[in-house]
Structures are given as structure tokens and as C-alpha cells.
A and B are shown apart, each in its own frame.
Chain A
């Protein structure tokens, strides 16, 4: 971490970025970050690591990826938590999450995609079309999946601009679906062996599984501390940790998150928090939030609430289940992956009772006073499932606020009023 400013522009040019547009993006993100993050009081000291990561999000980390590639490695982009990063890692690849959390180049995007496409898909497309994302530009392969209709069809168009491979994801979780999914993982291995030039071995896969599990264990520890009252870390900071988990170096990330967890455990022991003990505690459930989408957390926490858990892919769905490390053969290790990865409770599945159970269980564990259901506009699966989530939570005595929004800032005023009223209601 030297202080000498490094000029990354030649690297960005080599990657094919549009430097002018990229400059604009790089002035916007630090402003957003400062406003949402650096303005917070009493942050855990360990969050300094994430401040650094964010300041180098298109710098040092990209340099590491470029160096990794120069040494013969590969970079594989993903868009969904169903794609097993263990396989990528075991084959010498670095997995990077490509979901984007800001509106970008929508004018170009809307020439390809209808306006009523969810913000996640539009912005992922926008970052590619606008040539401002060094992660997607470094990727040797981009893995899409057949989750929702929007993504499924968008991959066909994205394939015209980047090397895309699509995994078929079942929509139900019956035994035959698991068998199919298991085969689909074999096909992914085949594709990745071709792209990386390496052959998957049992030892490499076990090692990767262990490392990625350690990353999840660290996040579990960090998040477990949030059950305490007062909350020892803001929801925003905890969200950031999971967002960064998708593209950071695995062992380094694990070490840093464990350090933060140590600090949080001490805070809990001494009763130190980032919010007062009577601040309303909110659980957020819904569609994923990618960097720099901190909008709803920011609104809740600036209004005096504290977010204590996220039931979403940039939250518990990413870290709460581990892959069994008991396998003794490659086959067995692949079976273990198939089981764990099919056990994600995304609204693209039917039925999806597991998600309802998770929401209710987490609300209890984290002592949430209320549930905020967050869905991106035009996301049919989550917006429809919101009805079931809302009903079940209300039956369990939990007030629910439904927020359907996108990445724009137009509705922040209106949303703040709704969130503040919700917090007033939880407090009364």
C-alpha cells in the first residue's frame, strides 16, 4: 500500500476502456462512497481495508488481474451466485462478479434492450457497451445463466460483445433437477478446462473449496456479530464486505474480514455500537445490490435505522451455506458442489418456500423489528414473490415495507419519507 500515485491509464488503454467515459465514472464513485460511507460515525477500524479496496477498485485489483493473466492465469466473469467459483479457482482462474449497480450508457443499452428491463441487466450491459468496466474487459470468459427471462435473453445480445457461456439452471429443486444440475456442472468444467488449458483435479478442487469456505466462514462471523444490540457495524459496511467478496483476492479478503470480525466481537463484548440500542433494526430481503448501489441502506441508516441483515445474493445467500469438505474423490467433490449450489433460494425457483423460511429465521436471529422487501423494478420474480414474503412476515408479526426501485436517484425523496414513516412505526 504505497502512497506514490500510480498511473493506471496505460493499463486501462490496453484493456480497451473508453478513457474519457471511464474518467467520469471514476469521479462519480468516490463521491458516492464518501457521502454514504466516509460520513459514518464510529466505523470499525478494519473497514479501512475496504476504503482502500474501493479507492483502488479499478486500479490495484485490476493490476493484480492483469499480472495474473500475464503469468498464464485466466479471469472469469460471473453474474449469479449459482456459478461455483470453486471450479474456476481450481482451474487457475480468478472469478469476478460483473453485476453493476449504477446506471451507465442507458442510451446505448436501450437500443438493444427494452426500457422495462431491470436495472441490473441494463447496467451490466451498459458497462460493457460503454467500455468502462475493466473487470469485464479482462475476462477470458463471461458465464451467464438461465435464471430469469431478462438475463437469459440478454446473454444472447451480450454474446455479440463478449465471450459468453450460458449455464442452464433448473427452476425447481426436485431430485431430477439436482441430477441435471450436476451434469450441467460437468459441462461447465469441460468449458473451463478448454478456456484455462488446465485439467481439474481432486486436490485442486478440495483446496479451492476449503479456501472459498473459509471466505464464507469469515463473512458468517462478521455477520453473526450483527445480531447484537447495539449493532457493532452498519448495514452499509456489512453489505460492502459481501459486495467486495465477489471480486477480491480470496485469502487476503478472508484474513481482512476475520480481523474485522475480531474487532466486532470485542465491540459486542464491550457493548459498543454504531447505532443506539433503540434504533429500529431492519432486515432487507430481495434482489442483489452491486457496487455502488448503496441507496436503500443509506436511506435507512441516514433516517436513524440500522440494517442488521441482508437476505439477498449480496448477503446471506452468498455466505450462509458451506460446501461439504468430506469428499474423497473428484466425483464426490463435484456432487457436494452441486448440492450446495442448488440450495440457493432465489425467486427464479418455484416453489421457493426456503426463502420465506430464511427471512423469518433471520428476522428472529438478528432481532429485526421490521422487514424491508427490496426489488428492482421490472423484476417479475421478486416483485411477485414479495406478496408471499410480505404475507408470511406479517403473519409472524413483522411489519413490512415494500420498496420497488431502480438505480436512479429520482425517487430518493419519496423513498426517504416512506422509510422514515416505517421507522417511526417500528419505534412507536
Chain B
């Protein structure tokens, strides 16, 4: 059976094609201003028996392509659990939202947390700050890693933090230290979410944030252990959606047992 998993986000539209339970192809396209058009392009790319949509545009995709739907939360847990069967938690730092999910063997969600409407702690927060520095997010992350220390940034509100950062720059604080402070602020917030859902290791890091080496380093330090970075971090949701579709027809075994571990 051929299933297409689509993650229709506000920034990118991601796709994973499964054939008889194995990933056959994947794609990450820029959503532009018409994510559903981008999705349509992906739907037309290969013949499939079923489409499952997740992400911000899942309901619109359901209407347009007759897709089944699953939330990002459910999809990420399934995807992460497929990539790392021993994993029990996932952290996803995306462009607009951040989520942490605790799951049981096979990707069954046990608890989750997602940021509310504000951008604090998301990829967007770092983007706004990078703009204040006049660099891109990747450069800012490199500076943060190379920094010889950090300056505490206390404000998590994007608007206040931006003026705090500008104030720090005016005071002559080195940019690299501020950059590190900003990454630390995002990670601090993430860690408290992880604690609230009682996340357990091994922890999978996914979403655009997982490509930010400074975040990966700080999250690992924060949990005092190793993080599993998804190889293709932006397609974890699409993979989960496709797996969900395969299971709907009873084709793929989603539940495998593995021993439980201690809290992070």
C-alpha cells in the first residue's frame, strides 16, 4: 500500500511517501503564500492509495484531497518512535511553535505541551533576535557556540527581549555572549516544558530547531545526556502522518514494546 504523509505547516510543506511500510521518498518545500497549492503539487507527484495530513493546514488538506487527519502531536510521536524505537520523548522547535511530547512504546501519546499564541521559545523568537543583530539564525548559532560565556537575557517575550538585546548591545556586551544568552533562554523555557510533561530519555530533537547546533548542544547539556537528532528533522511529522495512514488500514505494526526509563 502507498501512503502519503503531508505536514502542511505555515513555513514549509513536508511530505513522506511510504510503500508497504517503508519510506520511499521525502520532500520539504517552501510553503510560500499558498501552502495548499504546494501540497497539491506533492499529492500529484506520485500515485498513492491514501493521504494523511497533519500540521496547521491539515483540515484544509482534508477537504481538498480527501485526506485523513492527525494532529502534529500525534504525528510527531509516531514519526519519532519509528526513527528511534527506544525514544520516549520528543522536542520539536518549529518556526511558529514549540512542542514537547511524552510517549509510550509505539508512539502512543501520554502527555504533551505546546506553546500558546505567543512566539516565546520558538524558532521565530531566534529569528527576530538574529534580525536585531543583522545576521541570519545560522550565523547567530555559530557565534553562540564559539562564545566564551553568556549574558543572561531575562525576558522571554519577543518584543521585550528585542529591546533588552538592543540595550545590551548599546552597553557594549559582546554579540556572541548575547547570542548564547538568547539560545539559553529558549532552552530554559523548553526544559521547563520537558519537566512539566515528565519527559523521559531518550529524547528526540526534531523540527527546524534541531538543525541549530547551539540549541542541540544546550538541550543536551540541560538534560545531562544525549539527544537523538532526527536525520531529516523537518519530515518527522510527515513520516508520522504516513505511518498513521498505513496503520489505519492495518498494514504496518505501530506498537513495539521497549523497556521504560527514568524521568529526565
A: residues with CB less than 8 A from B are 399, 404-405, 410-411, 413-414, 417-418, 420-421, 424-425, 428
Contact = CB atoms under 8 A, between A and B. Distances in A.
A421 B73 contact: yes
Contacts of A424: 70-71, 73-74, 109
Contact of A404 (B70, B73, B109, B116): B116
Contact of B74 (A404, A405, A413, A421): A421
B116 A411 contact: yes
Nearest to A413: B56
B111 A399 contact: yes
A425 B117 contact: no
8 contacts: A405-B116, A417-B72, A421-B114, A424-B71, A425-B73, A425-B74, A428-B108, A428-B109
A399 B72 CA distance: 19
Contacts, number: 39
Chain A CB count within 10 A is highest, among B71, B73, B74, B110, for: B71
B205 interface: no
Interface in B188-217: none
A373 to B, nearest CB: 13
B79 to A, nearest CB: 14
A417 B114 contact: yes
Nearest to B104: A428
Given A424-B109, A425-B110, A411 B74 contact: no
A421 B97 CA distance: 15
B17 interface: no
A202 to B, nearest CB: 52
Contacts of A425: 73-74, 109-112
A410 B71 contact: no
B114 A414 contact: yes
Interface string B90-110: 000000010000000000111
B32 to A, nearest CB: 19
A421 B116 contact: no
A428 B104 CA distance: 11
Nearest to A414: B117
The 7 closest A-B pairs by CB, nearest first: A421-B73, A421-B71, A411-B117, A425-B109, A420-B71, A424-B74, A428-B108
Chain A CB count within 10 A is highest, among B56, B111, B117, for: B117
B73 A414 contact: no
A425 B77 CA distance: 11
B165 to A, nearest CB: 23
A333 B214 CA distance: 69
Interface in B47-91: 56, 70-74
Contacts of B116: 404-405, 411, 414
B54 to A, nearest CB: 10
Nearest to A423: B71
Nearest to B198: A394
A420 B56 CA distance: 12
Interface string B11-48: 00000000000000000000000000000000000000
**A interface, over-half SS:** helix
A205 B72 CA distance: 56
Contacts of A418: 73, 114
B88 to A, nearest CB: 15
A413 B57 CA distance: 10
A391 to B, nearest CB: 11
A411 B114 CA distance: 12
A375 to B, nearest CB: 12
Contacts of A414: 97, 114, 116-117
Given A411-B116, A421-B72, 11 more contacts: A404-B116, A405-B116, A414-B97, A417-B72, A421-B73, A421-B112, A424-B70, A424-B71, A425-B109, A425-B110, A428-B109
Given A404-B116, A411-B117, A417 B111 contact: no
A1 to B, nearest CB: 38
A421 B117 contact: no
A418 B110 CA distance: 14
Nearest to A387: B196
Contacts of A405: 116
A84 B111 CA distance: 41
A410 B117 contact: yes
Nearest to B96: A414
Contacts of A420: 71
Contacts of A413: 56
Chain B CB count within 10 A is highest, among A405, A413, A428, for: A428
Nearest to B109: A425
Interface string B101-143: 0000000111110101100000000000000000000000000
A410 B117 CA distance: 8
Contacts of B56: 413, 417
Chain B CB count within 10 A is highest, among A404, A413, A418, for: A418
B108 to A, nearest CB: 5
A413 B56 CA distance: 8
Nearest to B108: A428
A12 B108 CA distance: 56
A109 to B, nearest CB: 21
Contacts of B72: 417, 421
Nearest to A405: B116
Nearest to A403: B116
Nearest to A408: B117
B61 to A, nearest CB: 14
A421 B117 CA distance: 16
Contacts of B73: 417-418, 421, 424-425
B22 to A, nearest CB: 24
A414 B114 CA distance: 9
Nearest to A424: B74
Given A410-B117, A411-B116, A417 B71 contact: yes
Contacts of B70: 424
A410 B73 CA distance: 20
A414 B122 CA distance: 14
